[in-house]
Amino acid sequence: MTAISDTPILEVQGLAKQFSLHAQNEIVPSCSDVNMLAFPGQLAALTGPTGAGKSSVLKCIYRTYLPSQGSIHFRQADGEVVDLARISEQDMLQLRRSELGFVTQFLHCVPRRPADEVVAEPLILRGIALADAVAQARELLRRLNVPERLWRLPPATFSGGEKQRVNLARGLIARPRLLLLDEPTASLDKATTGQVIDLLREFKQAGVAMVAIFHDPELVTALADAEYRLAPPRSLTQSTPALEAMQS
Amino acid sequence: MNPILDVKGLTRIHGTECPSCLDMTGPEHDTNVCPACGSVVAAANVSFSLQPGEILGIMGESGSGKSTVVKTLYFDQAPTRGRATFRDDDQSHELFNLNGAEQRWLRNHRFGMVYQNPNLGLNFNISAGGNIAERLLMNDLNHYGDIRRRASELLTRTDVMVSRMDESPKQFSGGMQQRVQIAKALATRPPLLYLDEVTTGLDLSVQAKILDLILEIQHELQTAMIVVTHDLGVIRLLASRTLVMKYGRVIESGLTDQILEDPQHAYTQQLVASTL
Ligand SMILES: Nc1ncnc2c1ncn2[C@@H]1O[C@H](COP(=O)(O)OP(=O)(O)OP(=O)(O)O)[C@@H](O)[C@H]1O
Ligand SMILES: [Mg+2]
Ligand SMILES: [Zn+2]
C-alpha cells in the first residue's frame, strides 16, 4: 500500500503577505509571489535567504497571518477543497483541531502543565481519553529521547533541546494530514536529529504531507521531495483576500 | 454546529440618546461621550457568535465597553438595542425579549458569572458554603445533606479548603474569593460562563493558578466562556478567538494568535507592541 498520490493536498498560488504598520506609517513586505504544492506522503522544503519569508508562508497557511494576496487551496479529508486564505475562523479552528499541525521553533503551551499532558493535548482535543492520550504521549517522548524523569514536569525549565522535543512530540502526536515544520531540529543534538528524521520518514510513509523549513541543508537532502526557493519579497499594491472574505 | 450564543447589534447608551450619538462617537472621534447630548455610548453595534465549549476573549482598555457586553448578556443591565440568541439543547431564547422571571431563571440555571470584584458575585454576610448553597437551592436541590456535599465537592474542585466553608468569604484572600465565585458559578454546571477580569489585581502566582483552573474546567465540562480582560497574556492563554474593543466598538476580531501576531488595526498594533 502506498500513500503517495498525485493529487496535491495543498496548492499555494500567488501568495503574498505584507504588514501595514500604522504607527510607523510603513508597509513591510514579508513574502511574495509564492507558488508551491504539497502532496500526501511527501515533504516540500522551503528554502531561501533570511528575510525571504519562509516562516511567513507557514504562518499564512495556518492563518496566524492574514494573507495579503493569493490563495491557499487545501484538500480536506472529506475531499472538499477550501481556500485557507478565505475560510471562516470557525472552519480554521476546526481544521487546526483535526487536520493541520504546526511545529514552531518555540514551545507555546500552558505553563505549569506536565510535559506528557502538554504533548497529549491535541489528542484530548480530539476526544481521546486522558489516560490513553498520555500513554501515547509518553511513547512518543521516549522515542524522542526525552528522559523519563522529565515527563511529569512542566517544560518551562527544560533545556532548549528538551523543549524542542516536547514541541515536536506535541505537533506530531495527532498525525495531522498536513504538518508545517519551522526549524524543528534547530537546537537538537545529532542523535536526536536522527530520531526526528526517522520519525518524519515514518510520517511520509503514513501519507502525511509536510511543508518544512530546515536550517540544515543536510536535512533538506535527507527528507525533501521538492524544494521551493523563496526570493526576497517585493511590496504590492493593496488588497487583502482574507479581510474581504470576512467582511462579505 | 450551531452557536450557543449569537449577539447582533448590541448597543448600550447611558443617557437620553440623540441622533448624533452613534455618528459622533467611536475610535475615529476619540471618545465615547456624545458631544451633542453628553450620553455615554458604552457599547455600539457589537456582534459576535460563540460556539459551545469555545472561549472567546474580549480585550480593550478601561472604558472600552467590555464589561458592558457581558453585563447585558447576564441581565445585570438592559441594552438600548440589539439581539442575543441563546441556544440551549433544542431551545432557542431571545434573551432581550424574555420577561424578568425567565431572565432570572436562565441567570440562575444556565449562566454563570465571575466578577472582578468579589463583592458583586458573593454575599459576604453568609458563609462560603452558604453562597454556593444559595445557588443550589435555586436549582431545586433541597436536601441539606445533598447541598452540603455538593458545595464541598465544588470547593474542593476549586481548591478552597473545605475546612473553611463555614467562614464568610470576606475573610478570604483575593485569590480564594475568586475561587469561591468560580465554585458558585459552576454549581449548576452552566453551559455558558462570563468571566470579567477575574485575575486582575491578584499576585502573578495566584493568577496563574486561577487561569489553570479555568482551563481545566473548560476541558472537563466543555463550558463556553466569554473572557473579558485587558491582559494580553490571559487572552493568549485562554481564548481561541478575540474581539478588540475601543470606545464601545469592536474594532477588530480574529483568531487569537492572528490578533496578537498580525493585528490589523492601528490601535491593536499599539496595544500589542506595548506589551512585548
Ligand atoms: N451607569 C453608567 N452611566 C454612565 N456611564 C456608564 C455607566 N456604566 C458604564 N458607563 C460608561 O460606559 C463605558 C464602558 O464601560 P465598561 O464598564 O463597559 O468598560 P470596560 O471596558 O469594562 O472597562 P474596565 O476595563 O475599566 O472595566 C465607560 O465609559 C463607562 O464610564
Ligand atoms: Mg470592566
Ligand atoms: Zn447624543
Q: Do A89 and B208 touch (CB under 8 A)?
A: no
ipTM above 0.90, yes or no: no
Is A166 part of a structural domain of the chain? no
pLDDT tens digits along A8-44 = 999 999 999 999 999 889 999 999 999 999 999 999 9
Q: Do B261 and A59 touch (CB under 8 A)?
A: yes
Is A35 part of a structural domain of the chain? yes
pLDDT tens digits along B38-96 = 999 999 999 999 999 999 999 999 999 999 999 999 999 999 999 999 999 889 999 99
Is A112 part of a structural domain of the chain? no
* Predicted pLDDT at A248: 47
Q: For chain A, what is the HEC assignment?
A: CCCCCCCCCEEEEEEEEEEEECCCCEEEEEEEEEEEEECCCCEEEEECCCCCCHHHHHHHHHCCCCCCEEEEEEECCCCCEEECCCCCHHHHHHHHHHCEEEECCCCCCCCCCCHHHHHHHHHHHCCCCHHHHHHHHHHHHHHCCCCHHHCCCCHHHCCHHHHHHHHHHHHHCCCCCEEEEECCCCCCCHHHHHHHHHHHHHHHHCCCEEEEECCCHHHHHHHCCEEEECCCCCCCCCCCHHHHHHHC
Is A146 part of a structural domain of the chain? no
Is A129 part of a structural domain of the chain? no
Q: Do A63 and B255 touch (CB under 8 A)?
A: yes
Range of the domain at A29: 1-99+224-248
In this complex, the residue of B208, B261, B269 whose CB is nearest that of residue A65 is: B261
Is A236 part of a structural domain of the chain? yes
What CATH number does residue A28 fall under? 3.40.50.300
Q: List the single best residue of A59, A90, A238, A239 to mutate versus B (max B Cβ within 10 A).
A: A90
CATH number corresponding to B51-84+93-275: 3.40.50.300
Share of chain A above pLDDT 90, in %: 60
pLDDT band at A242 (very low <50, low <70, confident <90, very high): low
How much distance in Å is there from the Cα of B15 to the middle of ligand 3?
8
Is A59 part of a structural domain of the chain? yes
Q: Which residues of chain B, if any, have pLDDT below 50?
A: none
In this complex, the residue of A19, A64, A113 whose CB is nearest that of residue B258 is: A64
Could you state, in order of their start, the residue ranges of all structural domains in chain B?
51-84+93-275
How many domains, in total, are found in chain A? 1
**pTM listed for this prediction:** 0.90
